[in-house]
Amino acid sequence: MTKPTIAVFASGTGSNYHAVYKAIQKKELTCDLALLVSDQPTSKVIEKAKEHNTPYFAFQPKEYSSKDAFESEILDQLRIHKVDWIILAGYMRLIGPTLLQAYEGKILNIHPSLLPSFPGLDAIGQAFKAGVKITGVTIHYVDEGMDTGEIIAQEAVKVLKDMDEQSLQKKIQLVEHQLYPTIIQEVITQSID
């Protein structure tokens, strides 16, 4: 039986890309990481992809006439690499109809809050400024909205009195790096059964 193939989409440092990569190396996640896609050609995640010999496609959205134009090119890359699942890991763009239709029910995202609270950008900052005592991590299917897809899993993170935004972010990332590979494995395994 062939293993499912994933593409990770990321825009920043690539800490969740790295967590997924490590889980595959440890055989905790049984899939092939076929491609990294980034809308930030100078991001740290590209350096990580090079270190790990992950093929990557990096693009500048402003060089395209529309979202449909760059998503069509991404779709070509996904087909070349025979990608079954898209795993968003800090990809800072809404997924448009081109990819949503081609990968319906096969796009996962991780978000650093307990959705539906604090969707969108800077969720950790939003939660911190709101003074919540509990925030967390959500893994969900992707739809056309901003962090509105069906929730698959959540894990709470306590906000301690002595925490600043940075220490809260570190605590949330520790949870993300454990939870995401586990849930990816569950979801892609269920899809095979």
Whole-number pLDDT of residue 190:
87
- Give how many domains the chain has, as a whole number: 1
Q: Is residue 125 in some structural domain?
A: no
Residue 158 lies in a domain: no
64-86 pLDDT, tens digit each:
999 999 999 999 999 999 999 99
pLDDT tens for 101-158 read 999 999 999 999 999 999 999 999 999 999 999 999 999 999 999 999 999 999 999 9
Domain presence at residue 21: yes
157 found inside a domain: no
CATH of the domain at 59: 3.40.50.170
Strands (E) across 39-116 are located at: 56-58, 85-88, 107-111
pTM of the shown model: 0.95
Domain hosting 17: range is 5-110+139-151+178-192
3-state DSSP assignment of residue 23: helix
Q: Assess if residue 182 is contained within a domain.
A: yes
pLDDT tens digits, one per residue of 2-40: 899 999 999 999 999 999 999 999 999 999 999 999 999
Classify residue 173: in a domain, yes or no: no
Residue 72 included in any domain: yes
> Half-sphere exposure of residue 54, counting CA atoms within 13 Å on the CB side?
30
Instruction: Give me the active site residues, please.
Output: 111
Residue 170 within any structural domain of the chain: no
